[in-house]
Structure 1
Amino acid sequence: MTYPQDPNNPYGQQYGQQYGYQQPGYPQYPGYPGGYQPPVEGSGLAVGSLVCSILGLVLCFAVGIAGIIMGHIAYGKAKRGVADGQGLALAGIIIGYCAVALNIGLFALFIGIGAFSGWR
């Protein structure tokens, strides 16, 4: 079956069918974007957790406890996808628990040395 030719384009349909070309149509417009995604928070809380936990090794166990608390908050936010820094938060939690355990152990050691040395 042959189609009638367009008088404005004598080569159009027959030429396109012979060589596999199609006549250009209207351009497609892109769809609407998926929606607004809120920006992801940085890893400030996770970095603060790591810093407090490291300082808890040197200073006192109260700073280590602050590092543990901030680490758990930052880790929860990172797991939900609200913030970055899941690895830093986990490192802050681990180092914070080690710092608290080390400080409690050293405190018990000093109390034990003082109690059994006859120090008054």
Structure 2
Amino acid sequence: MAQQPFDGFPPHQQYGFPNQQSRASGMAAAALIFSLFGLFGLVSVIPGIVMGHVAFAKARRGEAGGKSMALAAFVVGYLIIILYAIAIPVLLNIAAKQGAFR
């Protein structure tokens, strides 16, 4: 059995899925940040939700990456709006029982 000559190192192998590029979406990241800042003020939630939907649509069309981050952005935004919708009436009711509006 003859031994093959050594031609050097084998070519570098790519890991992951073939022909799939990792493209991060800045809009998805910004949407998630805006949605999370909604914990400190309700105003920033609305741009976070809108940008999350836009980034999600772009990711579905293949124009950008960050599909899961965009999904998380508008889900978190909607959850924060629900949290405010529950917390504000509860806090107003507690304040009214304490006599804050007399």
Q: TM-score if structure 1 supplies the norm length? A: 0.61
Larger radius of gyration: 1
Is 1:117–2:82 an aligned residue pair? no
Question: What does residue 84 of structure 2 align with?
Answer: 103
Local SS of the residue matching 2:38: helix
Moved over 2 A (4+): none
Give yes or no for contact 1:56–1:99 (8 Å, CA) kept in 2: yes
What 5-or-longer segments of structure 1 have no aligned partner?
Answer: 1-39
What 5-or-longer segments of structure 2 have no aligned partner?
Answer: 1-21
Deviation string 1:84-106 (CA, Å, 9 cap, x unpaired) is 10000001011111111112222
Query: Could you tell me which of 55, 61, 64 is aligned with 1:80?
Result: 61
Structure 1 Cα separation of the partners of residues 70 and 92 of structure 2: 33
Aligned-residue sequence identity (percent) comes to: 38
Question: What does residue 52 of structure 1 align with?
Answer: 34
Q: Aligned residues, how many? A: 80
Q: TM-score if structure 2 supplies the norm length? A: 0.70
CA RMSD of aligned residues (A): 1.7
Q: Give the alignment of 1:1-120 within 5 angstroms.
A: 42-57=24-39, 59-119=40-100, 120=102
